[in-house]
Amino acid sequence: MAKKQEKAPKKPVMEPLEPTNQTITDTLRVNYMPYAMSVIVSRAIPEIDGFKPSHRKLLYTMYKKGLLTGQRTKSANIVGETMKLNPHGDAAIYETMVRLTRGNESLLTPFVDSKGNFGKVYSRDMAYAAPRYTEAKLDAFCIELFRDIDCDAVDMIDNYDGTMKEPTLLPTTFPNILVSANTGIAVGMASSFCGFNLHEVCRTAVACIKNPEHDVLETLPAPDFPTGGEIIFDEAEMRRIYETGRGSFKVRAKWQYDKKENLIEITQIPYTTTIEAIIDKVAELVKAGKLREISDIRDETDLGGLKIAIDLKRGVDPDKLMDRLFRMTPLMDSCSCNFNVLIGGMPRVLGVRALLEEWTAWRTECVRRRVYFDLNKKREKLHLLEGLRTILLDIDRAIRIIRETEEDAEVIPNLMIGFGIDEKQAEFIAEIKLRHINKEYILKRTQETDALAEEIKRLEEIVKSQAKIRAIIVKELETIIKKYPAPRHSEIIRAEEVKAFDESDHIEDYPVHIFLTREGYFKKITPASWRMATEHKLKDGDAVVWEGEATNKAEIIFLTDKQQAYKARLHDFDDSKASVLGDYLPAKLGMDEGELPVCALLPGDYKGTMVVVFENGKAARFSLESFETKTNRRRLTGAYSDRSRAVAFFYPVDEETELTLFSTANRAMTFRAGMLDVKATRATQGVQVMVLRAKHTVCRAVRCEDAGLSDNGRYRCRAIPSIGALLKEEDLPNPQLTL
């Protein structure tokens, strides 16, 4: 009997969800805004201590593990412990740690003493090793972060699962917000802090505390970077950054020329770029033929530090080459500043002075809390010693009370009753060892009580005086300056001392022959190449319609059939040969679809006038200055009038230049260019020169000497407009042969 086939269970039918009536604004407010605020407040924007939460949690974990004074431990151990405070993956925590290490060289004042491969901030490809291979501990400098951490200087809060306490801020004894470079991208805002030299920041903080009107730029001239480089100092721009917290400045690489080896050695680069980005860009320019002076470039970075070597060809000027490299590669880069910091949980963009004021106010509160904490401790100790003094005045009585007490639990109450002291004092006295009941011990405790009272009085005065607290801050800052060496890495160069880049100085100038064809192809040929071969390679039906002689630095203007002008330099075009088609101008100059050049001219110094002859018999004369622009614009619209099709363009022309027009009625006329008034605008429609009847048009226009007429006097007119004269039989165009 066949086994009965079991039926598959029916799939549950999904009921359609009921549509909600929640508006998009409610969705954003309920779902998106909490996420956005979390990123801004708890992740991407640093606070006044100069740290983001991820930095703070990592450093505090290392401090609690005893890594400030102990031996290094595996980075994997540190990452694992940090996850108790930081609910992110181990990769993100380790990457945060890498940036804080001395080995990575990201910070001017690194906080982690590292051993092993932690990569380099200036290299994209030098990857850091896995955390199981590297070791780390807190740098000795971190004592300035945790000096007051156990003195109630900052608030402690629960971690994410409520099992541990962590500080809301680290009580840094120096303005770390300006010393440590920091960047972050939040939701709808970002933050970008460049680093400043530790000594300069501390001196500036001291100066601003002593004199609120202090000029910050005097003691804090410019930022500083661990990768060095040269900062192009523009005082006006730097003041704007210091005042507003926003702006940018230029940083360029530091280099030297080895004359013996004929190579350039780059030893410091901008903080914002990498070795690989520089080499890739230089190689791209060499491959494109824009840097012909370089024969090789390589990365020679080793244990001695960063080095990029550039081999030069013979006869190359290294200074001019570096000027070009600064302009064309990341060897000179802009560093953007956006001093966005969380103050009391609110993001604010502050200038340097405002940041120092906020830090000073916050640090003042930290010191006040620390002093108050010490004050309470000493008060408690004084309170105990005062109880001890009461007992020691009649020590025999105290001993008798203790001996006569039958139960241990009654010792404290009996001492309290016998001497009129409180429970803490009685507990302290009961714990004194028998050996301490001697004259020396009693004398020392009595003297300590007097000294403690004086110290408490001094601390009470400090707590009440903001000036004395500020004096403590100043003393701590001055101690940091003396204790920790911090030489400046980046050199400052004033902007006026930097020679402005002049592109013409870096372009080789030599004579060239230039040609334009009807189909829009352009050739630039050197005289030597032109002498080798003068037969042009052209597409079928194409022909050369214009040619000229110029130099490689000359400017050229192309006029198109869409009434537009395109300006270019001849050095923008590669040297060509007669045996190639040349550059296709519509593609080279980015012309509109279907647009073709109809004329080329060499403007020179933009002096003189040009004449445009139109199909309707009109001619316009205007100054070439109308094509001159102050900015480096490549395209000009309205190059000439669009009322009628242009037949011919003439430049240069003067008052005596004679032009001959031919019409479809087999008529011709010659007139002087001086008969046309010079117009101010190039888009003028011109004046009637040749009178046309019926549907006849001007079909051709040439200079008089190129007209090939048998009798020029017959066609020369005395005034315009003119109908012209009928062409003689010998002047008529040759008739085409017909079958």
Domain ranges (residues) in the chain: 37-172, 254-330, 357-483, 503-731
Task: Select from 161, 160, 165, 142 the least CA-distant residue to 51.
Answer: 142
CB-CB contact of 193 with 47 (8 Å): no
Of residues 168, 144, 141, the one with CA closest to residue 154: 168
What is the pLDDT, as a whole number, of residue 371?
A: 95
d(C-alpha 250, C-alpha 230), whole Å = 8
How do strand 698-703 and strand 658-663 relate by DSSP bridges? antiparallel
- Name the band, by pLDDT with cuts 50, 70 and 90, for residue 711: confident
3-class secondary-structure state, position 395: helix
Mean pLDDT of the chain: 89
Alpha helices in 408-438 (DSSP H): 411-419, 423-430
pLDDT band at 503 (very low <50, low <70, confident <90, very high): low
| Superfamily the domain 37-172 falls into | Topoisomerase II, domain 5 (3.90.199.10)
The residues with which 183 forms a beta bridge, in sequence order, are 192
Asked if the model's pLDDT at residue 79 lies above 50, the reply is: yes
First to last CA, the chain: 100
Task: Tell me the CATH number for domain 357-483.
Answer: 1.10.268.10
CA distance 150 to 92: 28
- Burial of 381-393, coded b for 16+ CB within 10 Å and e otherwise, reads bbbbbebbebbbe
Residue 211's Cβ-count burial label (10 Å; 0-12, 13-18, 19+) is: exposed
**Amino acid making up residue 149:** I
DSSP states of 309-328:
EEEE-TT--HHHHHHHHHHH
Cα-only R_g, the chain: 43
Domain 503-731 falls under CATH 3.40.720.10: no
Coil, strand or helix at 555: strand
DSSP H stretches of helix in 211-264:
216-219, 235-244
pLDDT in tens, 599-618: 999 988 888 899 999 999 99
CATH class label, 254-330:
alpha beta
**Cα separation of 610 and 622, whole Å?**
6
| Entry field: residues in the chain | 739
Question: Is the Cβ–Cβ distance between 538 and 606 less than 8 Å?
Answer: no
Instruction: Select which of 133, 242, 510, 566 is catalytic.
Output: 133
- Give, as one character, the DSSP assignment of residue 305: B
How far apart CA 233 and CA 490 sit, in angstroms, is 11
Are residues 480 and 144 in contact, defined by beta-carbon separation less than 8 angstroms? yes
Report whether 179 contacts 108 (CB < 8 A).
yes
Outline where DSSP puts E strands in 412-560. 491-494, 511-517, 521-525, 544-551, 555-560
Q: How far apart are CA 192 and CA 182, in angstroms?
A: 6
> Looking at the predicted structure, is the pLDDT value of residue 739 above 70?
no
- Average pLDDT (388-415) is 82
How is residue 407 written in tokens?
A: 């139960």
Q: 459, 374 in Cβ contact below 8 A?
A: yes
Question: What is the rounded average pLDDT of the residues 21-32?
Answer: 80
**pLDDT at residue 736, as a whole number:** 46
**Calpha distance 43→443 (Å, rounded):** 57
Backbone angles phi, psi at 499, to 5 degrees: -65, 130
pLDDT digits (tens, 9 = 90+) for 27-60: 878 888 888 888 888 889 999 999 999 999 999 9
Rounded Cα gap, residues 536 and 404, in angstroms: 129
For the stretch 472-482, what's the b/e string if a residue is b when 16 or more beta carbons lie within 10 angstroms of its beta carbon? bbbebbeebbe
Inter-CA distances, 87 with 53, 58, 161, Å: 11, 12, 9
Listed in sequence order, the residues at least 6 apart from 696 whose beta carbon sits closer than 8 Å to its beta carbon are 663, 664, 665
Report whether 318 contacts 264 (CB < 8 A): yes
Distance (Å, whole) CA 496 – CA 237: 13
Give the mean pLDDT of 704-725. 89
Residues 6 or more apart whose Cβ sits within 8 Å of residue 74:
131, 132, 134, 135
Cβ(135)–Cβ(65) below 8 Å: no
For residues 419-445, average pLDDT: 79
Say if pTM beats, i.e. exceeds, 0.75.
no
* Amino acid symbol at 371: V
Confirm if 522 and 588 have CB atoms less than 8 A apart.
yes
| pLDDT for residue 738 | 43
Q: Is the pLDDT of residue 9 over 80?
A: no
Q: Which of 104-108, 126-130, 428-432, 539-543 has the lowest mean pLDDT?
A: 428-432
- Tens-digit pLDDT profile for residues 534-590: 888 888 889 999 899 999 888 999 999 999 999 998 888 888 888 889 999 999 898
Active site residue 133: yes
pLDDT (tens digit, 9 = 90+) per residue, 208-230?
A: 999 999 999 999 999 999 999 99
State residue 212's pLDDT score: 92
115: exposed, middle or buried (C-beta count within 10 Å: 0-12, 13-18, 19+)? middle
Is residue 286's pLDDT more than 50?
A: yes
Buried b (16+ CB within 10 A) or exposed e, 273-296: bbbebbbebbeebbeeeebebbee
Cα–Cα distance measured from residue 479 to residue 498, given in angstroms and rounded to the nearest whole number:
37
